[in-house]
Amino acid sequence: MKRFTAMLFLVLAMQVNADTHCDNQCQLTLIKDYYQKINLSVVQHSTTENVDVFLGSLHEDVVYLHEEYEAKFDKNIWRKAFLRQMERGGYANTVEANTVLKSVIHGYQTAAVEFVSRYRNQEDTEITSSPSRLAIFKFKDSKIVFIQDHWYHLAEETLNK
């Protein structure tokens, strides 16, 4: 009986793990969705609803990190940062500004993403493409739970000169 109980427990534990595992296709779908929704949150005339839809698609315990900007946001702080930028007119992008995925390296519940950002250059208002950038995503319960951007603004300025 003990052996049967142990086997049953093992099978059930594997099933729970299988239900929460985000495979490569799940990761890619969530990453594309992330960039689509965040891009809509940082354009001119973005709304609180855009921000709430974006943040609502992420795990409840999501953490966003960006070393250069000393950003460490949970959902609440991240929402306040978006709204503060919106209030001060900090978003100049139009829908033509977007993110292009170049490559994704999948790991267990983790993905490294190489991407290019297209954004409105504030000097001449032209759409500009960044050099390749790096972000690390982690997944939990088939949602994004962690994002860490590793691109460095000053290094990009040097590359563009």
Whether 1 is covered by a domain: the verdict is no
154 phi, psi to nearest 5 deg: -65, -35
Whether 90 is covered by a domain: the verdict is yes
Q: Which pLDDT score, from 0 to 100, does residue 107 have? A: 97
Q: Check pLDDT > 60 for residue 8.
A: no
Q: Which pLDDT score, from 0 to 100, does residue 72 have? A: 96
Whether 2 is covered by a domain: the verdict is no
Whether 57 is covered by a domain: the verdict is yes
Return the CATH number at 72. Answer: 3.10.450.50
Q: Which pLDDT score, from 0 to 100, does residue 128 have? A: 86
Q: Is 56 helix (H, G, I), strand (E, B) or coil?
A: helix
Q: Which pLDDT score, from 0 to 100, does residue 154 have? A: 61
Whether 130 is covered by a domain: the verdict is yes
* Band of residue 161 on the pLDDT scale cut at 50, 70, 90: low
Whether 16 is covered by a domain: the verdict is no
pLDDT over 70, % of the chain: 81
| pLDDT, tens only, 83-130 | 999 999 888 888 888 999 999 999 999 999 999 998 877 676 788 889
To the question of pTM greater than 0.85 for the whole model, the response is no
Average pLDDT over residues 124-146: 92
| Helices 48-56/75-87 angle, 10° precision | 160
Q: Which residue has the tokens 């973005």?
A: 46
| pLDDT, tens only, 23-53 | 999 999 999 999 999 999 998 889 999 999 9
Whether 42 is covered by a domain: the verdict is yes
Q: Which pLDDT score, from 0 to 100, does residue 2 have? A: 62
Q: Check pLDDT > 60 for residue 4.
A: no
Q: Check pLDDT > 90 for residue 132.
A: yes
Instruction: Round to whole Å and give the CA distance between 96 and 117.
Output: 11
Q: Which pLDDT score, from 0 to 100, does residue 113 have? A: 98
Which residues are bridge partners to 114 per DSSP? 103, 134
Greatest Cα-to-Cα distance within the chain, rounded to the nearest angstrom: 75
Domain count, the chain: 1
Question: Could you list the residue range(s) of the whole structural domain that residue 52 is in?
Answer: 22-160
Whether 12 is covered by a domain: the verdict is no
